[in-house]
């Protein structure tokens, strides 16, 4: 079946309602939240009182489980280590604001996120940074921020992904997400680790399943709860922790969408190289992969090429 065309660029929880602007916090693309520009660099991002329903959604531990409540040896906590909040200072129509996405480390100094986050679909990204180890609101002492280049080294508008360089080698401290990808089975249990609305890292796994239908072969429909700020989150199988998708959008009260990781990998020279090289699972104190800087400073638009074999 075909859905209505108003796709939410940042994704949205199925049970939520449309938000309105309040106290300088704006809502773009019916779900993407933009904070005031002077919020850039903050860890905790307070939502105004008018967004109380959104606070309640994020506070629902059944749908958005705080990663901090899992023990350090738990598989979800381990997999969450290389996933961070991507803060974007964006200029649109002459005004600046803070937009939010999720990014995840794939090598010592590369992260993956959505193309509509970096370089973005509208406006200009003036600054970007990756906030790591933000797992509890009000406790910021253990977090660390890394500067992110605003021009991707590889990107695809069609597949809505970008690979971006991060300064400071965050993979050395927080590990990497290995390129172990496959296709999900219909109705397979999934999970997403994300920063919904820019809040501390959460896990979504309740009623989180792959849909048996799809409109486009490169896309995966799923029913995992997300909010603005969840764009760019990795989607995993809850059975074997394989990567199955890159979350990018949703239709309010209906379904969410991800780009299939197997399709992205088959179209990405960088990801195919990472998939063929030995990698350590997250967290890894000394990842062995470092992608050399490209000779051309312009971003590479990925094009289809040969097959990639997942690591067994």
pTM above 0.85, yes or no: no
Could you tell me where the beta strands, DSSP code E, fall in 37-189?
65-66, 83-92, 95-105, 110-113, 124-132, 144-147, 154-156, 161-165
Peptide bond into 236 cis (omega under 30): no
Looking from the CA of 209 toward its CB, the CA atoms found within 13 Å total 8
Helix (H/G/I), strand (E/B), else coil: 275: helix
CA dihedral in degrees (210, 188, 14, 257; nearest 10)?
-20
Dist CA 60 CA 68 (whole Å): 14
pLDDT of res. 23: 47
pLDDT of res. 213: 78
CA dihedral in degrees (87, 89, 91, 92; nearest 10)?
30
pLDDT of res. 63: 81
The residue to which tokens 């940042």 are assigned: 10
Q: Which residues pair with 26 in a beta bridge?
A: 34
pLDDT of res. 26: 45
pLDDT of res. 25: 47
Mean pLDDT per 10-residue section of the chain, whose length is 312 residues? 31 36 43 84 82 63 86 96 97 93 97 96 93 94 97 96 98 95 92 91 89 82 82 94 91 80 95 71 43 47 37 29
The distance from CA 111 to its chain's CA centroid, rounded to whole angstroms, is: 10
| Domains of the chain and CATH, by start | 26-41+71-174 (2.40.10.10)
Dist CA 47 CA 231 (whole Å): 19
pLDDT of res. 156: 96
pLDDT of res. 27: 39
pLDDT of res. 191: 94
pLDDT of res. 64: 85
């Amino acid at each position: 079946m075909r859905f209505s065309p108003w796709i939410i660029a940042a994704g949205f929880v199925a049970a939520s309602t449309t938000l309105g602007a309040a106290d300088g916090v704006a809502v773009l693309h019916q779900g993407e939240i933009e904070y005031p520009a002077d919020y850039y660099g903050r860890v905790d991002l307070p939502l105004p009182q008018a967004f109380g329903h959104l606070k309640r959604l994020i506070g629902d531990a059944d749908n958005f489980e705080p990663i901090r409540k899992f023990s350090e040896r738990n598989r979800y906590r381990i997999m969450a280590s290389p996933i961070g909040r991507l803060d974007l200072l964006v200029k649109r129509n002459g005004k600046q604001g803070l937009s939010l996405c999720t990014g995840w480390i794939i090598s010592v100094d590369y992260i993956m996120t959505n193309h509509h986050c970096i370089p973005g679909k509208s406006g200009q990204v003036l600054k970007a940074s990756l906030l790591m180890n933000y797992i509890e609101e009000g406790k910021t002492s253990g977090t660390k921020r890394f500067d992110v280049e605003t021009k991707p080294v590889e990107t695809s508008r069609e597949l809505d992904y970008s690979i971006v360089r991060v300064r400071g080698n965050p993979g050395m401290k927080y590990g990497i997400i290995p390129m172990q990808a496959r296709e999900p089975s219909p109705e397979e249990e999934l999970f997403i680790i994300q920063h919904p609305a820019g809040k501390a890292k959460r896990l979504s796994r309740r009623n989180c399943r792959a849909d048996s239908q799809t409109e486009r072969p490169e896309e995966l429909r799923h029913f995992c709860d997300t909010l603005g700020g969840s764009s760019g989150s990795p989607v995993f199988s809850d059975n074997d922790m394989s990567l199955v998708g890159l979350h990018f959008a949703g239709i309010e009260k209906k379904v969410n969408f991800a780009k299939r990781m197997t399709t992205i990998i088959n179209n990405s020279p960088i990801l195919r190289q990472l998939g063929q090289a030995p990698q350590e699972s997250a967290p890894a104190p000394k990842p062995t992969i470092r992608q050399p800087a490209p000779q051309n400073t312009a971003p590479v638009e990925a094009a289809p090429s040969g097959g990639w074999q997942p690591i067994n």
